Amino acid sequence: MAVVEELIRSEADGAVSFGNHKLEKKAKADDFEHAGDLLKVKTFREMTKLEKNGMFLYESVPGTSVTGFREREDGVEFTVEGDEDAQITVGLAEDREYRVFVDGKSIGTMKTGLGGKLSLSVELEAAGEVSVKVEQA
């Protein structure tokens, strides 16, 4: 997998790919139209953030490159790449329980609070990239 050189792009299957964890300086893309929504991405080696219509959707520290990001009614799924382990936060429905899978393995059930945010850690340093799936329990 490679970084997303154009910072954000729509995929033929309806997913979106974004972020470039190799950038030394902050870069951003505003008002990117995708499936009727406006997306905004900010990315560089220390942080990657995605917003949809002004609302929080994804953030990683340090920065990551994300491919195949797909929102579903019951959660999200994507593949994430980075040079080091990352803390990822995704925006979901408020006050709900979600099952979380990393590289096809369950890491348990987590609950969102009033803000609808769910945080997880992924080990990327050794793996390079991993798949993440979050679905409503």
- Domain edges within the chain: 8-136
| pTM (predicted TM-score) | 0.94
| Token pair of 16 as six digits | 């979106």
The domain over range 8-136 is classified in CATH as 2.60.220: yes
Average pLDDT score over residue span 80-92: 96
Distances in Å between the Cα of 52 and the Cα atoms of 91, 113, 119, 125 are 10, 20, 18, 28
65: closest CA among 131, 134, 2? Answer: 2
- For residue 79, the surrounding DSSP H or E stretch is strand 75-81
Question: Each residue of 87-118: pLDDT tens digit?
Answer: 999 999 999 999 999 999 999 999 998 899 99
pLDDT band for position 1 (cuts 50, 70, 90): low
What does the pLDDT look like over 42-63, one tens digit per residue? 999 999 999 999 999 999 999 9
- The secondary structure of the chain in percent helix, strand, coil, rounded to multiples of 5, reads 0, 60, 40
Task: Give the whole-number percent of the chain exceeding pLDDT 90.
Answer: 91
Backbone conformation region of residue 118, classed left if phi is above 0, alpha if psi is from -120 to 50, else beta: beta
DSSP letter (8 states) at residue 36: T
| pLDDT value at residue 24 | 95
Distance CA 76, CA 26 (A): 25
